Amino acid sequence: MKISTAFSLASLRRPVTLLALVLAFVPLSCANGATAENKVGGKADFRLKTIDGGKLLGPEDFKGQVVVVDFWATWCLPCRFQAQMLEPVVRDLKGRGVQFLGASVGEEVETVRAFLKSKPAPYPTLVDPEDEISVRLNIQALPTLMVVDKKGRISYLKAGLTDGDTLRKLIQKAGS
């Protein structure tokens, strides 16, 4: 009897641990019913400094293209999974009217720069150390993925992981 009880307790640990892990990846709801998704249909009219500190860059700099913006942070483990899911899509759609941008939010430029030395991104990285754009867009969970259509309107803005197949469909729907 003790063996079976010990076995049942041990077998319960994995599902409970898995459930806790899954819930950790579920984005928190936004206050007062405001969500980042409410910005869908609006203009993606922001520009941020690039990681090299030089120029300002944003979706409006790529008129006539679909733009995918991955909002992330170095401390965010799900953001790393999102970046891995983006890589094959970036590679497959290179030169096909789609521009990818990464936007690090809420972290100092040096922190982001050090992180990118060990894990470089295959697309330009923008920095928003003061969270100005993420606040304006009501981004309250990371990662958050934004797809901007060829007309410069936000066609998708959602927190959580977005798989490659879903992203391809979103890009196609946005006009590429």
| pTM (global) more than 0.85 | no
CA–CA gap between residue 74 and residue 150 (Å, rounded): 29
We report the CATH number of the domain holding residue 164 as 3.40.30.10
Q: Is the pLDDT of residue 22 over 90?
A: no
Question: Does the residue 83 lie in any domain?
Answer: yes
CB 122 within 8 A of CB 90: yes
Question: Does the residue 25 lie in any domain?
Answer: no
The 10s digit of each residue's pLDDT in 131-149 is 999 999 999 999 999 999 9
Q: What is the pLDDT of residue 131?
A: 93
Range of the domain at 37: 30-173
CA–CA gap between residue 162 and residue 164 (Å, rounded): 7
* Secondary structure (3-state) at 52: coil
CA–CA gap between residue 175 and residue 63 (Å, rounded): 12
The 10s digit of each residue's pLDDT in 29-70 is 333 334 455 678 889 999 999 998 779 999 999 999 999 999
| Amino acid (1-letter code) at residue 133 | I
